[in-house]
């Protein structure tokens, strides 16, 4: 099996055992990127020299007898919303074109410390706002399963890179589903950790109270290894949780659901869901039962209001977070010809530098926070958020995890929803509640939809700091399905 | 601009005051990052990704600043919140890196307190609405144009060293009933507040460096009315004297506007140090919408009540309490105490007393000769190059009879001129009192010989004439003779008994 088809765990083991060099592994992935990324457009920036230098450094350290982590020498694709001091960081926006941060995000720093080799930066919806990666200022990313379709979003570059074997691992951020939905529609694993479990320092903010960095991988164990590598308390992020990272790697190895109580969210299903998605989901639920889990239906009535609440809270926070892009200190500057005032230059820069979806959300958020409307919109949305938390709390009294389809449909064609924001927003219907409540949730592959042969994801939701449960159940499902399918789902993807 | 004479304005209208004071805390690092807060560094050298608002950076609250704010609240008799949050105040301005300020909105750390201030011997209680914690902005300098303000400037430059320095905002409740004392009360409030800050050690409260900044709100209502008028907010009030002048000036201006049938516009006004007048700034008629919402990057603050109680127990003696205690210890009148307070002499007198001087003497020198010297040179009393210990030494020399007052003044002059400590100056200038009987007798002989008429008058019983002879001895000794002893010896020599 070629290096690019191996798991991250296996690559890490081979490099650590010095059976293969980190440079060889890096070169194999750089070759793959060079070969396929013109079709995929997963990467905004590939750092060939830097990648090889990082890999050499890992080899040197290993040669010097240093003990590195299990992922040392494993290549990774890094979402271009994390600050990297040696690579541009654009957040998919023209307003930050060519911006090079003078500092590393905490996640970036921890990847480096773990010896992961950062291949480059991946495409995303501008400022992580979207579900298709079509909102990138640098062109859409294509789904490796069908190049005419979207790879999900906002972390679509990261999901596509892993799905297309350009990297065994990638980072993402999940604000309303931006890891889980892309993972689902590209047939890979994507995990949103508990809010505060992974540091936001150096992650360019979209919605501060929701943004959560998390891993993508082609299998559950790899995702857990990456999760463990970059998570944990960070004094630079006040909202980061000062507790040990849940035992995610052990849980992924445990892969056993016997005796677990699993709740099916009653509200997710029915109208608006693709039949093939529901069919695969029900199969997954039956599979869990067959593995010894006790399955019950659970009602979470407030989930119905999650989407509208999200589309008040997230834009409100983004309208404030994105105010700093004003042409004064960094990034794009338009119209500064010596005659215009600072305010005019700010306005011209923001008009030219932000795309339509970003502007739409800034407008929505500005309105929702306005005096006289705050209580009716932002205030009300926060109340809904509290109700959703209570629903989760009540549910987790009855069951250990909740399950649902990750997203109501498979990957849709590029352009299909571009002019229909409401249709686009529905892609995150099932994922948003976990962002509003801050709990952990994962998406794992559960088969292909009959009508289009495209991947379907199973979402497994666990309580706050119950991240290990996601991996435990996810790994059990993966193991059972892979033995049924005779290998990973991704093996069924057409070759590129 | 038309003004109405102050007396007339007060006959027709009653002022209502409000004061918003910003105090930069003297913490070592900024409010939300580790950058230094030292004043006067080269522009844009105390900056980092956080206080420059680089994409992805996040704030971490400075606990020391939270503690200082709570201590301020406690000193101002406020209730300390058991749970509260930071909020974002959103508006665009080039010197504010994030284009929002992390501040507090409807959940301030401290609420509902008061500060007692003394004006002309009477105590006035000023209600405190709230004390909250926020961050300072950068500092813009507008180059070109006539006013030094952004409008009309050719270009502007920004220094972000100040961006993110912890700033405490202290807002009074509306202050009605000040009547014609409004300017003095405003000044007394800011003075007292400054002293509270100093006693707490939370800020260097230097108005000229901007570490204490005051916005003055004034409205007028016609006499007999109970409905408050529209208020204006005057900024750029950079000294205690300006606080007084700004209030007075705004009363005179508003009175003129109202008397001529005009209406007061709710606006920000700008105080001009040179003229003592205000000019119109930004109108607040269409209130700016700051779109406040709870800061999602920071956790709520929930000060442990036990910790707050321990901070309260550890508060230093506050200025009013201390002044009352010292007044009693020193046995001085209200008026004298007020004079010392106004002259910023209390600390100096206290230190001089601590160095061994009697309170009356310490007060006499600081408020007399030294105050005069300070006044002449335009220096603050505390900035004179003399220490309380040195002043105490001078009082000791006078008490022991080694110096008289006149000589003591010369010693002080020498110390101020950098000639050394009091004893050194006495030595160098040869200022010790002449009480050598032989030397004195020789001087008296000289004087009696030269003033035979006066001597005769004394002999004939006109004892008052002895003054001229004593004066002669003092002159001849260049002030160094012991005048009392000289008088005794002259009368003895002339055979006169009192």
- What pLDDT does B308 receive? 98
In a domain, residue A360? The reply is no
For A237, name the nearest residue in chain B, comparing CA atoms only: B58
Taking 60 as the threshold, does the pLDDT of residue B225 lie above it? yes
Q: Please report residues of B whose CB lies closer than 8 A to that of A371.
A: 287, 289, 291
Mutate to test the interface with B, among A109, A212, A238, A354 (most CBs of B within 10 A): A238
CB-CB under 8 Å, A238 with B61:
yes
Q: Is the model's pLDDT at B285 over the cut of 60?
A: no
Residues 6+ apart with CB under 8 A from B334: B121, B327
Residue B377: pLDDT band with limits 50, 70, 90? confident
A316/B299 touch (CB, cutoff 8 Å), yes or no:
no
What CATH code is assigned to B437-494? 1.10.10.410
> Least CA distance to B88: which residue of chain A?
A320
Residue A441 lies in a domain: yes
In this predicted model, what pLDDT tens digit does every residue of B43-91 receive, in sequence order?
999 999 999 999 999 999 999 999 999 999 999 999 999 999 999 999 9
A12-25 pLDDT per residue, tens: 999 999 999 999 99
Burial of A235 per CB tally in 10 Å (0-12, 13-18, 19+):
exposed
Average pLDDT of span A472-477: 98
H helices then E strands: how many in chain A? Answer: 16, 11
Residue B147: band (very low, low, confident or very high) from pLDDT cuts 50, 70, 90? low
Q: Which among B53, B94, B296 has the least Cβ separation from residue A208?
A: B296
pLDDT digits (tens, 9 = 90+) for A366-381: 999 999 899 999 999 9
pLDDT for position B148: 65
Residue B183: CB atoms within 10 Å: 23
Closest CA to B33 of B12, B19, B54: B54
pLDDT mean over A217-234: 98
Q: What is the pLDDT of residue A126?
A: 98
Q: Does B379 contact chain A (CB < 8 Å)? A: no
Residue to mutate among B50, B56, B156, B282, with most A CBs inside 10 A, is B56
Whether A444 has a pLDDT exceeding 90, the answer reads yes
pLDDT value at B284 more than 80: no
B89 and chain A: CB distance < 8 Å anywhere?
Answer: no
Cα–Cα dist B12/B9, whole Å: 5
Nearest-CA neighbor of A222 among A76, A416, A429?
A76
- Domain range summary for chain B, segments of one domain joined by +: 6-311, 317-429, 437-494
Cβ-nearest to A320 among B100, B287, B298: B100
> Is B29 at the interface with chain A, CB within 8 A?
no
Residues of B in contact with A201 (CB under 8 A): 56-58
The shares of helix, strand and coil residues in chain B, as percent rounded to the nearest 5, are: 40, 20, 40
The answer to whether A235 contacts chain B (CB < 8 Å) is: yes
Cα A190 to Cα A174: distance, rounded to the nearest angstrom = 10
Report if residue A318 sits inside a domain: no
Residue B468: is it exposed, middle or buried by C-beta count within 10 angstroms (0-12/13-18/19+)? middle
Residues 290-319 of B with CB under 8 A from A: 291-293, 296-299
Which residues of A are the active-site residues? 79, 154, 178
Distance between CA atoms of residues A267 and A348, nearest Å:
45
Pairing of strands B79-80, B87-90: unpaired
B319 phi/psi in degrees, rounded to 5: -55, -45
| Measured CA distances, B310 to B70, B304, B305, B307, B314 (Å) | 11, 10, 9, 5, 6
Average pLDDT, chain A: 97
What pLDDT does B142 receive?
87
Q: Is residue A345 one of the residues assigned to a domain?
A: no
In angstroms, the CA A19 to CA A38 distance is: 31
Q: Of A361, A356, A378, A348, whose CA–CA distance to A322 is shortest? A: A361
B244 pLDDT exceeds 60?
Answer: yes
Across all residues in chain B, what is the average pLDDT? 91
Host H or E run for residue A430? none
CA-nearest residue to A375 within chain B is: B293
| Facing residue for B297 by CB, picked from A103, A238, A342 | A238
Whole-prediction pTM: 0.89
Q: CA–CA separation, A26 vs A383, rounded Å?
A: 48
pLDDT of residue B283: 67
pLDDT in tens, B91-136: 999 899 999 999 999 999 999 999 999 888 788 999 999 999 999 9
Distance of CA B215 to the CA centre of its chain: 17
A75 neighbors A58 (Cβ within 8 angstroms): no
Taken in order A220, A1, A147, A361, is the CA torsion positive or negative? Answer: positive
Q: State pLDDT tens for residues A235-287.
A: 999 999 999 999 999 999 999 999 999 999 999 987 889 999 999 999 999 99
Quick one: three-class SS letters along B92-113? CCCCCCCCEEEECCCCCCEEEE
Residue B436 confidence (pLDDT) above 90: no
Whether residue B57 lies within 8 A of chain A, CB to CB, comes out as yes
A329 with B52: Cβ contact below 8 A: yes
Torsion of CA B469, B473, B475, B481, to 10 degrees: -140
**pLDDT tens per residue, range A481-493:** 999 999 999 999 9
Distance CA A39, CA A26 (A): 20
Number of structural domains (chain A) is: 1
* pLDDT value, residue A492: 97
Q: Does B286 touch chain A (CB under 8 A)?
A: no
Distance CA A456, CA A66 (A): 42
Q: Do B53 and A324 touch (CB under 8 A)?
A: yes
DSSP string covering B223-285: TT--S----EEEEEE-SHHHHHHHHHHHHHHHHHHHHTT-----EEEEE-TTTS-EEEEEE-S
The per-residue pLDDT for B78 is: 98
**Residue numbers in A near B55 (CB within 8 A):** 83, 89, 91, 96, 99, 101, 204-205, 324-325, 330
In tens, the pLDDT along A110-132 reads 999 999 999 999 999 999 999 99
pLDDT at A124 (0 to 100): 98
Q: Is B61 on the interface with A (CB under 8 A)?
A: yes
Q: Are the C-beta atoms of residues B197 and B205 closer than 8 Å to each other?
A: yes
Asked if B63 is an interface residue toward chain A (Cβ–Cβ < 8 A), one would say no
Q: What pLDDT was estimated at residue A270? A: 79
Please return the burial class of B212, using the count of CB atoms within 10 Å of its CB with bins 0-12, 13-18 and 19+: buried
The whole-angstrom separation of Cα A432 and Cα A303 is 9
B98: tokens are: 């994030």
Return the minimum-mean-pLDDT range out of B98-102, B254-258, B443-447.
B443-447
CB-CB neighbors (< 8 A) of A237 in chain B: 58
- Cα distances from A155 to residues A80, A183, A213, B451, in angstroms, run 9, 9, 10, 110
**How many contacts, defined by CB atoms under 8 Å, are there between A and B?**
102
Phi, psi of B177 (to 5 degrees): 75, 15
Nearest to B3 by CA among B182, B234, B250: B250
- Mutation target for A interface from B52, B55, B94, B102: give the one with most A CBs within 10 A: B55
Residue B186 φ then ψ, to 5°: -60, -45
B157 three-state secondary structure:
strand
Q: Residue A104: inside a domain, yes or no?
A: yes
Element (H, E) at B445: helix B437-450
Among the ranges given (A301-310, B131-140, B425-434), the one the predictor scored with the smallest mean pLDDT: B425-434
Angle formed by the axes of helices A156-163 and A22-40, nearest 10°? 120
Return the pLDDT at B287. Answer: 66
* Chain center to CA of A461: 15
- The minimal CB distance from B58 to the residues A82, A238, A325 is found for A238
Six-digit token pair at A306? 């999650």
CB of B169 within 8 A of CB of B137? no
Q: Which residue has the higher pLDDT, B472 or A27?
A: A27
At B288, is the pLDDT very low, low, confident or very high (cuts 50, 70, 90)? confident
CA-to-CA distance for B358 and B81, rounded, in angstroms? 46
Q: Searching chain B, which residue's CA lies closest to the CA of residue A318?
A: B296
For residue A100, what are the domain limits? Answer: 3-301+386-492
Q: Which ranges of A64-174 would DSSP assign to H, the alpha helix?
A: 106-113, 156-163
Can you tell me the mean pLDDT for B456-481?
85
Tell me: cis bond preceding A154? Omega within 30 of 0 counts. Answer: yes
The closest of A443, A439, A152 to A303, measured between CA atoms, is A439
A63-96 burial, b at 16+ Cβ within 10 Å, e below that, comes to: eeeeebbbbbbbbbbbbbbbbbeebbbbbbbbbb
Task: For residue A376, count other CB atoms closer than 10 A to its CB.
Answer: 11
- C-alpha A484/C-alpha A286 separation (Å) is 13
- Of A175-189, A290-304, B301-315, B480-494, the poorest mean pLDDT is in B480-494
Q: Which residue has the higher pLDDT, A436 or B275?
A: A436
Tokens 């919303």, residue located = A81
The string of pLDDT tens digits covering residues B169-182 is 999 999 999 999 99
Q: Give the pLDDT of residue B275.
A: 86
What percent of chain A has pLDDT above 70?
A: 100
**Residue B433 reports pLDDT greater than 80:** no
CATH code for the domain of A297: 3.90.1300.10
User: Which residues touch B274 (CB under 8 Å, ≥6 apart)?
Assistant: none
pLDDT exceeds cutoff 80 at B222? yes
Beta pairing partners, B395: none
Q: What does the DSSP 8-state code read for residue B163?
A: T
Q: Looking at per-residue confidence, does A125 or A420 come out higher?
A: A125
- Grouping H, G, I as helix, E, B as strand and the rest as coil, residue A117 is strand
Say if A375 falls within a structural domain: no
């Amino acid at each position: 099996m070629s290096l690019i088809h191996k798991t991250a765990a296996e690559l890490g083991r081979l490099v650590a055992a010095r059976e293969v060099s980190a440079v060889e592994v890096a070169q194999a992935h750089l070759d793959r990127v060079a070969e396929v990324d013109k079709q995929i457009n997963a990467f905004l920036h590939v750092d060939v020299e830097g990648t090889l230098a990082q890999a050499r450094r890992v080899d040197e350290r290993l040669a010097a007898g240093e003990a590195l982590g299990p992922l040392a020498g494993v290549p990774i694709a890094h979402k271009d919303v994390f600050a990297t001091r040696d690579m541009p960081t654009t957040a998919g926006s023209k307003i930050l074109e060519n911006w090079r941060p003078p500092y590393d995000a905490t996640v970036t720093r921890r990847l480096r410390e773990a010896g992961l080799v950062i291949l480059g930066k991946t495409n995303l919806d501008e400022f992580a706002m979207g579900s298709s990666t079509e909102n990138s200022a640098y062109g859409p990313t294509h789904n490796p399963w069908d190049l005419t379709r979207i790879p999900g979003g906002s972390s679509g570059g990261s999901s596509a890179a892993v799905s297309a074997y350009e990297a065994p691992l990638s980072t993402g951020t999940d604000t309303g589903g931006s890891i889980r939905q892309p993972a689902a529609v590209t047939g890979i694993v994507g995990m949103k950790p508990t809010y505060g479990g992974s540091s936001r320092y150096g992650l360019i903010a979209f919605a501060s109270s929701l943004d959560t960095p998390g891993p993508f991988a082609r299998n559950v164990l790899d995702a857990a290894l990456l999760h463990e590598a970059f998570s944990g308390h960070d004094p630079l992020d006040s909202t980061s949780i000062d507790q040990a990272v849940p035992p995610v790697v052990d849980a992924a190895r445990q892969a056993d659901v016997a005796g677990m109580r699993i709740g099916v969210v009653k509200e997710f299903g029915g109208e608006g869901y693709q039949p093939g998605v529901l069919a695969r989901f029900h199969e997954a639920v039956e599979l869990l039962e067959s593995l010894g889990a006790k399955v019950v239906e659970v009602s979470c009535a407030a989930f119905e209001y999650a989407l509208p609440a999200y589309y008040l809270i997230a834009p409100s926070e983004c309208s404030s977070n994105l105010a700093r892009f004003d042409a004064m200190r960094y990034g794009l500057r338009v119209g500064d010809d010596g005659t215009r005032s600072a305010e005019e230059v700010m306005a011209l820069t923001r008009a030219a530098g932000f795309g339509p979806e970003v502007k739409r959300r800034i407008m929505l958020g500005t309105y929702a926070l306005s005096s006289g409307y705050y209580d009716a919109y932002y205030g009300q949305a926060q109340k809904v958020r509290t109700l959703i938390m209570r629903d989760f709390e009540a549910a987790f009294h009855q069951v250990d995890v909740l399950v649902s389809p990750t997203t109501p449909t498979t990957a849709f064609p590029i352009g299909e929803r571009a002019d229909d924001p409401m249709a686009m927003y529905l892609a995150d219907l099932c994922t948003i509640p976990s962002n509003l409540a801050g709990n952990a949730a994962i998406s794992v592959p559960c088969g292909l939809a009959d009508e289009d042969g495209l991947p379907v994801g199973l979402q497994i939701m666990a309580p706050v700091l119950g991240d290990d449960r996601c991996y435990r159940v996810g790994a059990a499902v993966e193991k059972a399905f892979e033995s049924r399918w005779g290998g990973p789902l991704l093996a069924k993807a057409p070759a590129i | 601009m038309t003004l109405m004479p102050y007396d007339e304005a007060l006959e027709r209208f009653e002022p209502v005051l409000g004061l918003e004071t910003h105090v930069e805390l003297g913490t070592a690092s900024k409010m939300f990052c580790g950058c230094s807060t030292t004043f006067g560094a080269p522009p844009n050298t105390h900056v980092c990704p956080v206080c420059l608002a680089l994409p992805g950076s996040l704030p971490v609250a400075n606990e020391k600043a939270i503690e200082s704010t709570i201590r301020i609240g406690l000193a101002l008799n406020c209730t300390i919140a058991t749970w509260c949050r930071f909020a974002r105040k959103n508006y665009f301005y080039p010197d504010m890196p994030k284009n929002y300020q992390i501040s507090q909105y409807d959940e301030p750390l401290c609420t509902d307190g008061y500060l007692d201030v003394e004006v002309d011997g009477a105590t006035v209680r000023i209600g405190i609405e709230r004390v909250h914690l926020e961050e300072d902005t950068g500092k813009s300098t507008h180059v070109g144009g006539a006013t030094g303000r952004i409008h009309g400037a050719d270009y502007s430059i920004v220094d972000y060293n100040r961006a993110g320095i912890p700033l405490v905002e202290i807002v009074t409740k509306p202050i009605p009933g000040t009547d014609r004392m409004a300017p003095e009360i405003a000044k007394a409030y800011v003075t007292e507040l400054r002293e509270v800050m100093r006693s707490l050690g939370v800020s260097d409260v230097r108005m000229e460096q901007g570490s204490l900044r005051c916005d003055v709100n004034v409205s007028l209502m016609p006499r007999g009315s109970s409905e408050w008028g529209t208020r204006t907010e005057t900024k750029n009030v950079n000294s205690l004297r300006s606080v007084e002048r700004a209030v007075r000036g705004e009363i005179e201006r508003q009175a003129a506007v109202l008397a001529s049938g005009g209406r007061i516009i709710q606006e920000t006004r700008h105080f001009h140090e040179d003229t003592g007048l205000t000019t119109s700034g930004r109108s607040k008629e269409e209130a700016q919408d700051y779109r406040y919402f709870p800061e999602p990057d920071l956790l709520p603050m929930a000060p442990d009540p036990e910790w707050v109680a321990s901070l309260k127990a550890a508060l230093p003696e506050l200025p009013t309490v201390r002044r009352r205690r010292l007044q009693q210890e020193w046995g001085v009148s209200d008026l004298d105490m007020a004079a010392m307070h106004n002259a910023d002499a209390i600390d100096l007198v206290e230190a001089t007393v601590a160095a061994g001087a009697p309170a009356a003497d310490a007060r006499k020198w600081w408020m007399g000769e030294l105050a005069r010297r300070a006044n002449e040179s335009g220096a603050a009393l505390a900035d004179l190059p003399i220490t309380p210990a040195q002043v105490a030494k001078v009082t000791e020399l006078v008490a022991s009879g080694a110096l008289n007052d006149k000589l003591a003044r010369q010693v002080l002059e020498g110390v101020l001129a950098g000639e050394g400590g009091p004893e050194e100056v006495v030595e160098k200038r040869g200022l010790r009192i002449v009480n050598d009987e032989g030397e004195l007798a020789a001087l008296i002989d000289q004087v009696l010989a030269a003033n035979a008429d006066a001597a005769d008058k004394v002999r004939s019983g006109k004892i008052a004439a002895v003054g001229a002879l004593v004066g002669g001895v003092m002159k001849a000794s260049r002030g160094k003779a012991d005048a009392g002893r000289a008088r005794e010896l002259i009368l003895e020599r002339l055979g006169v008994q009192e």
